Amino acid sequence: MRVIDLNTVTDAVRALLLDCAFCAGPDLKTKIKEALQKEESPLGKDVLNQIIENQEIALREQIPLCQDTGQVVVFLEVGGEVAFTGDIEAAINAGVRQAYMEGYLRKSVVNCPLIRNNTGDNTPAIIHTRITTGDKLKITVVPKGGGAENMSAVKMFTPAAGEEGIVSFVIDTVRAAGGKACPPLIIGVGIGGNLEKAPLLAKEALIRDLDDESPLPHVRALEERLLAAVNATGIGPMGYGGTVTALAVKVNTYPCHIASLPVAVNLQCHVARHKSMIL
């Protein structure tokens, strides 16, 4: 067994979150610049130019890309040959606490959805753990803003809804969001599993590389169809109208019950923060 010191985990989470807050991912920067070339609306082009400028200022001055610095979601891929020296979730939350205090990032987590007292340090994170093979630990942090998350949706269809029902649901969700989710969007779609699995599939879809494609031809075709349909809505950058409402649509699927067709749509804003590290 390989033992990983939890101080290393804390340091990794802290570093990843600070990087996320100030530095847009290279694939995102490329997609925004490509969108600028595709956008037909002068106002839409202006918005995209402002997004590019914002990215440059955030990196240069080490200030947040967005004032909503998110609720932290962490995906852990833990090799079966890995052991820890203590409480891994406590170590992760220590890293969150350090990053949000050190970086002067907005603390957006309340201790109870009903009482709603701010925890003061943006903890606890939402942590998803998967056991894999080997002796490595992969940590992916996703500081997810509230605006896009609030406009996301899940629906339990019957199988009769088929692909047409899925497409209609995604488009209706995007239309209902309008500019509130801060487009141009990355859209994660989870299809299958059950009530809790479909939203997780959709969230995981958001951390796929923006240039990747589904290895399944029928899913890849659905991704392309959805992207074209979303961009045909005319919502445009930040909802001001235009031809680029989404940068990408990513669809993840999973086996499901014969009587069910669960579908989740997780919208991600144009900041699209996520970073990974392998220990």
Q: List average pLDDT for each run of 10 residues in the chain, which is 279 residues long.
A: 96 98 97 97 98 98 97 98 96 98 98 98 98 97 97 98 98 98 98 98 97 96 98 98 98 98 98 98
Q: Is the dihedral of CA 253, 259, 263, 264 positive or negative?
A: negative
Residue with the two structure tokens 């088929």:
162
Short-list 103, 141, 100, 109, CA closest to 13: 141
Rounded to the nearest 10 degrees, what angle do helices 42-61 and 26-38 cross at?
A: 160
Q: What is the DSSP letter of 207?
A: T
* CATH 3.30.360 for the 2-20+65-144 domain, yes or no: yes
| Residue 238 and residue 47 in contact, taking contact as beta carbons nearer than 8 Å | yes
Q: Taking the domains of the chain in order of start, what are their residue ranges?
A: 2-20+65-144, 147-272
> For residue 174, what pLDDT is reported?
98
pLDDT digits over 190-241, tens only?
999 999 999 999 999 999 999 999 999 999 999 999 999 999 999 999 999 9
Rounded to the nearest 10 degrees, what angle do helices 88-102 and 6-22 cross at?
A: 40
- Its pTM stands at 0.96
